[in-house]
Each structure stands twice: as structure tokens, then as C-alpha cells.
């Protein structure tokens, strides 16, 4: 069933129920205006603090977008890009693209001009929706973008090379365009994180999108009365596919702009959120604010909050233990995924396995997993190998990149993830590290995630990244970039002493005290760190024994 059918079902069965709420605390306007208070064909004159959208209006807005695209000769299989920050318009535009039969192509809002140009050209984007935040970046490449491409601007003061989206969509009908769609139609192109150069374009069918919705609903038992708080960017499969659980269950979701601990807890309290997906740094910030007394949990209404889950990166055991200390009644889940497998859920811990925190878990709903050696044969239990997954959410290909596709997909549908993992006697999978991040020092393989997890236990450590840096004698040495919590003091001597409990060969040889950069989905930017520090002569914090 195409993913668009779920939206149409919700609009028919629950037309007046709230589908989406957009909160932007950075705007000093606490009015609680309903989206329905605006004329459907008029552009809002201001962005209020809180806006909401019913399932009926959501579906109608998506239909208007579809008719707009069809009126501009967009055909089934054409590619339509979205370059927007999270807002109430984002998802209706996405579904309008799908309803027109086109392929949705979300773009990372952190892309610079060259990356935008590269991705638009790679994916053969013929129409691009973009917001006001991107005018300056698009100005630099407008001559390229304007060639045989329709540009639609969402905001005030449309640049001269683009058309005003609100004006163009105002006369479009709100009925369903009735473009026939099946599970085998192409639905979306997502881009890889691009941590090893320019990103690759990942092509998915509608089958992948629909399956991800069922996966999310199944794993977290989302019901009609649940409220999901969504903070990460919608361009990424993580946020989008977690929200698909709300679509599947016809339940409300809240799109929150802002990641301060007070902002998150206030949204949970005021909107009565029951499910929250956090990235590791945000969860860490909440716990640190509680520890400092900056946040008092009794100031918020949080009893309805039943589930906190984390994905996009390895989760330190110490963080989950601290979380359950403050929130003992919470269910907890870890989600593992990648855009090539339609985001979260091909492996997940499961709320029933919280005592096994540290594992990424078991195969997700409808998924299979294997751990393979270099010859793509199964390894023995307990041995480290490359994690491979298979299921309805595996990508079709890297668009226009057959070489990379062949390297990543087997003929019988297995996706080689590039992540090193192992399996225990209970059938639980443990992520060891990225294949490309393994450090080989003096002939020994070091897995940075294991070292990071250990260092995270130090009370002064807010975040840590372990990378391999060149060494003339050992080939590579483990180097820890350590970010210290506000108000704490920690030296290389302290960390050397703390790491005495690690086997000698696993101890970092160098320490660098600096912020740990993470991308918009929470992943540590290790290629950037290797480039930044790879040529540096760093002597502080050497650990020779």
C-alpha cells in the first residue's frame, strides 16, 4: 500500500483530529492559533509560536501541492526537491509530491551551495521547493538552478529567480489528484550522510516507506492517543520514519524547533507528549541540567511520557542508567538504522530488553540480520564481522552509481551496512564500530565505540570521540577527543588514570580537550576530526603505559 493511502485514510476517518503541531519557542508569540484560522489559500502573515493542522487540512494541502506540480507538467517519476527547515508546510509538500506520482528528494539543510548544486544535479531534480533560510546559498548557484528547473519559494519576498509558492498554490483544487500508485512505484531519494565526500543518492520505492511506518508502529506500539515529539530534521530518514508511526496510528505529532532541555520538557508537558525520540547530546543535556538543579522535574507534567528512544549513534550504557534513575517508569528503546534501509528499525533493542542496554538489539519487524566475514560468509557467535540486513525497506540502488550499488547490495537482497557487529548467545546484536573507523594499532584492531563507551562513564565527560591518527611506529594510535561538562575540571592525567581499567592496548595514547562535532542526526563527524587533527603535532595527554 503506498504511503499516501494512510494520509487519505486518516483524513477520511479522523478529519477534525489534530495531525501536526509546530512549535517554535524562539518566536516571542505565545498565541495558540489554529492553522484552520488561516484562509487555506492565503499565506500566513506571521509565524506564530504554535500552529496546528488537522488530518483533513493536511490532506487537502498535499492535494493542492500535487495539482500545482501536475499543472507544471510534472510527470510520474520526476524528481522534486525539498530544501526547508522543519515547519508545518514540510510534510504536506512531501506528500503532495508523492500524490503527484513524483519522487520526493529531501535535501540536508546544512548543505552549502556546492553540495546543494551537486545533489540537485545528481538526483535530476526538476522542481525545488525552498525556504527563506536558503536564499543566500541559492543566490550563488541560481544560474545553474534556473536551467530547466522550476523553483518555488516558501516565505516572504520571493527572489526574482523563483516563483511564490503560496500564490501559485492558491488556485489549485484540494481534491485528490487520483494518480494511480503502487508499492512498486519509486517514492523517494534520500542522501547518505556524505561523511566520506559528496553524498550518494539512495532510491526507495513506496514499499519501503509504507514498511517503515508499520515497523515504527509495531516497535513502539503507537496508538491513536499517543503524541510523538519530533525534534530532528525531517529531511533525514530518522525523523521522517519515526513520524510515520504517527501517520500509521493516526495520532498527533509535535514538530519542535529548539533543543534546550527546558524547551524539550516544556513541549512534552504542554502538548502531553507520550513518545520522544532524542539524540545522545540532547538526552545528556537534560540529565546534566537536572543534576545541576537547573531543571526541576516537578515543574513539568510528565506522567504521560511513557517512552524515550534514541537512535542514529551508539548509546552509552551510563546514559541510559542515569536516565532510568530520573525516569524509572519510562520504557526505553534503541533504534539502529541507515538511510539505505529506510532509516530506523531494521535492528532495535525492544522495550522488553532494557536490561541488555548496550546491544542494538534484535532484527526489527519484517527484517533479517546476519554477521559476515570478508568473504560474506556467516561468522561464529561472538565473532566480529560486518552486519548485513535484508527486508522490505532495503534501497533499490544508489541512483546513477552502479559501482557503489554492487558493493553494497547482494544479488539476493542483502545490504552490507559497513558496520562491524557481533551477536551474543541470546541472539542480541552489538554494534562494535564502523568498518572504516576501526583503528589498527601495532597489528591489533581497536573499536572506538568500545573505548568511547568506557570513557563516557567518567563523571566529567560530556561527549567523546575516539579516532585513529597516523603513527610512524604503530601505524595508528587511538586518540580521544573529549568534551568536558560545564563546571567540571578534568586533565589528561585524570583520564589516563581512569583508563587504567582498560586493557593496555585499548587505552588512548593521546587526549584532545575540545568540542565533539556531530551532524544534524547526531553522528560524530569522525572524518572531519581525522582531517582536523591528522597533521597536528599533539603532545598533551600522551599515554605510554
Task: Indicate the pairing of strand 163-164 with strand 150-154.
Answer: parallel
C-alpha closest to that of 421 among 340, 500, 346: 346
What's the farthest any 2 CA atoms get from each other in the chain?
73
Per-residue pLDDT, 85: 92
E strands of 226-358, at which residues?
227-230, 252-256, 275-278, 307-311, 331-338, 343-348
CA distances from 113 to 108, 129, 138, 198, 423 (A): 11, 15, 6, 12, 43
Q: What values do phi and psi take at 411, rounded to 5? A: -65, -25
Residues 6+ apart with CB under 8 A from 484: 460, 461, 462, 490, 513
Domains and CATH numbers, the chain: 44-205 (3.40.50.980), 438-533 (3.30.300.30)
pLDDT in tens, the chain (545 residues): 899 999 999 999 999 999 999 998 765 443 333 333 333 333 444 444 889 999 999 999 999 999 999 999 999 999 999 999 999 999 999 999 999 999 999 998 888 898 899 999 999 999 999 999 999 999 999 998 988 899 999 988 899 999 999 999 989 999 999 999 999 999 999 998 754 467 899 999 999 999 999 999 999 999 999 999 999 899 988 888 999 999 999 999 999 988 899 999 999 999 999 999 998 878 988 999 999 999 999 999 999 999 999 876 667 788 888 999 999 999 999 888 889 999 888 999 999 988 888 888 999 999 999 999 989 999 988 898 999 999 999 999 999 999 999 999 999 999 999 888 999 988 899 887 677 777 877 667 787 888 998 998 899 999 999 998 887 767 788 999 999 998 899 999 999 999 998 878 789 999 999 999 887 667 788 888 888 888 544 333 333 22
**540 CB-near residues (< 8 Å, 6+ apart):** 492, 510, 511, 512, 513
The per-residue pLDDT for 6 is 98
202: cell is 539512495
Instruction: Name which of 95, 121, 118, 94 is nearest 106 in CA terms.
Output: 94
476, 530, 531 from 480: Cα distances, Å: 13, 11, 14
8 Å CB contact between 309 and 277? yes
What is the distance between the alpha carbons of residues 427 and 356, in angstroms, rounded to a whole number?
A: 11
CB 205 within 8 A of CB 188: no
- Sorted by sequence, the CB contacts under 8 Å of residue 469 that are 6+ apart come out as 476, 477, 479, 510, 530, 533, 534, 538
Q: What is the DSSP-derived secondary structure letter of residue 131?
A: E
Look up residue 492 and give its three cell numbers: 589528561
Q: How many CA atoms lie within 13 A of 259 on its CB side?
A: 15
Q: What is the distance between the alpha carbons of residues 205 and 197, in angstroms, rounded to a whole number?
A: 25
Nearest in space to 401 (alpha carbons), one of 206, 209, 192: 192
Specify the residue for cell string 515497523: 215
For the entire predicted model, the pTM comes to 0.82
Of 476, 348, 350, 342, nearest in space to 415 by CA: 342
Predicted pLDDT at 473: 67
> Could you tell me the strand order of the sheet in which 125-131 lies?
163-164, 150-154, 125-131, 79-83, 103-106, 186-191, 201-205, 397-398
SS3 letters across 244-280: HHHHHHCCEEEEECCCCHHHHHHHHHHHCCCEEEECH
Of 117, 5, 8, 118, nearest to 56 by C-alpha is 8
How far is it, in rounded angstroms, from Cα 204 to Cα 340?
Answer: 8
Amino acid at each position: 500500500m503506498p504511503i499516501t493511502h494512510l494520509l487519505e485514510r486518516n483524513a477520511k476517518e479522523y478529519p477534525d483530529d489534530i495531525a501536526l503541531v509546530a512549535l517554535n519557542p524562539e518566536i516571542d508569540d505565545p498565541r495558540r492559533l489554529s492553522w484552520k484560522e488561516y484562509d487555506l489559500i492565503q499565506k500566513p502573515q506571521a509565524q506564530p509560536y504554535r500552529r496546528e493542522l488537522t488530518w483533513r487540512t493536511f490532506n487537502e494541502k498535499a492535494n493542492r501541492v500535487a495539482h500545482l506540480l501536475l499543472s507544471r507538467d510534472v510527470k510520474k517519476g520526476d524528481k522534486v526537491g525539498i530544501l526547508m527547515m522543519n515547519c508545518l508546510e514540510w510534510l504536506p509538500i512531501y506528500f503532495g509530491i508523492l500524490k503527484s506520482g513524483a519522487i520526493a528528494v529531501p535535501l540536508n539543510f546544512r548543505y552549502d551551495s556546492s553540495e546543494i548544486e551537486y545533489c540537485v544535479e545528481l538526483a535530476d531534480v526538476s522542481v525545488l521547493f525552498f525556504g527563506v533560510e536558503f536564499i543566500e546559498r541559492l543566490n550563488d548557484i541560481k544560474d545553474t538552478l534556473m536551467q530547466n528547473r522550476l523553483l518555488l519559494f516558501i516565505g516572504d519576498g520571493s527572489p526574482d529567480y523563483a516563483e511564490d509558492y503560496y500564490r501559485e498554490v492558491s488556485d489549485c483544487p484540494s481534491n485528490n489528484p487520483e494518480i494511480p500508485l503502487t508499492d512498486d512505484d519509486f517514492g523517494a531519494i534520500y542522501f547518505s550522510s556524505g561523511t566520506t565526500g559528496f553524498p550518494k543518492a539512495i532510491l526507495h520505492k513506496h514499499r519501503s516507506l509504507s514498511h517503515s511506518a508499520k515497523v515504527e508502529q509495531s516497535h513502539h506500539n503507537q496508538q491513536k492517543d499517543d503524541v510523538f515529539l519530533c525534534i530532528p530534521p525531517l529531511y533525514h530518514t530518522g525523523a521522517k520514519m519515526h513520524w510515520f508511526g504517527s501517520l500509521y496510528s493516526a495520532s498527533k505529532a509535535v514538530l519542535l524547533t529548539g533543543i534546550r532541555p527546558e524547551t524539550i520538557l516544556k513541549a512534552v508537558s504542554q502538548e502531553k507528549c507520550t513518545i520522544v525520540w532524542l539524540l545522545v547530546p540532547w538526552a545528556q543535556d537534560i540529565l546534566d541540567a537536572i543534576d545541576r538543579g537547573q531543571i526541576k522535574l516537578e515543574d513539568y507534567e510528565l506522567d504521560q511520557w511513557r517512552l524515550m528512544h534514541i537512535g542514529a549513534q551508539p548509546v552509552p550504557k551510563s546514559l541510559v542508567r542515569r536516565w532510568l534513575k530520573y525516569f524509572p517508569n519510562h520504557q526505553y528503546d534503541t533504534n539502529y538504522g541507515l538511510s539505505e534501509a529506510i532509516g530506523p528499525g531494521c535492528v532495535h533493542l525492544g522495550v522488553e530488553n532494557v536490561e541488555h542496554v548496550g546491544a542494538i538489539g534484535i532484527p526489527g519487524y519484517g527484517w533479517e540480520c546476519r554477521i559476515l566475514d570478508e568473504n560474506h560468509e556467516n561468522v561464529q557467535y561472538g565473532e566480529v564481522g560486518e552486519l548485513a540486513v535484508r527486508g522490505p525497506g532495503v534501497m533499490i540502488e544508489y541512483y546513477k552509481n552502479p559501482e557503489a550499488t554492487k558493493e553494497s547490495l547482494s544479488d539476493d537482497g542483502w545490504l552490507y551496512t559497513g558496520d562491524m557487529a557481533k551477536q551474543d548467545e541470546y541472539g542480541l546484536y552489538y554494534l562494535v564500530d564502523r568498518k572504516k573507523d576501526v583503528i589498527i594499532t601495532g597489528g591489533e584492531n581497536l573499536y572506538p565505540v568500545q573505548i568511547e563507551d568506557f570513557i563516557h562513564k567518567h563523571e566529567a565527560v560530556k561527549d567523546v570521540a575516539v579516532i585513529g591518527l597516523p603513527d610512524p611506529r604503530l601505524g595508528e594510535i587511538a586518540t580521544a577527543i573529549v568534551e568536558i561538562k560545564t563546571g567540571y575540571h578534568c586533565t589528561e592525567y585524570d583520564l589516563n588514570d581512569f583508563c587504567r581499567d582498560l586493557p593496555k592496548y585499548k587505552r588512548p595514547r593521546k587526549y584532545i580537550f575540545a568540542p565533539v562535532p556531530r551532524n544534524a542526526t547526531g553522528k560524530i563527524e569522525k572524518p572531519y576530526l581525522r582531517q582536523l587533527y591528522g597533521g597536528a603535532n599533539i603532545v598533551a595527554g600522551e599515554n605510554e603505559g
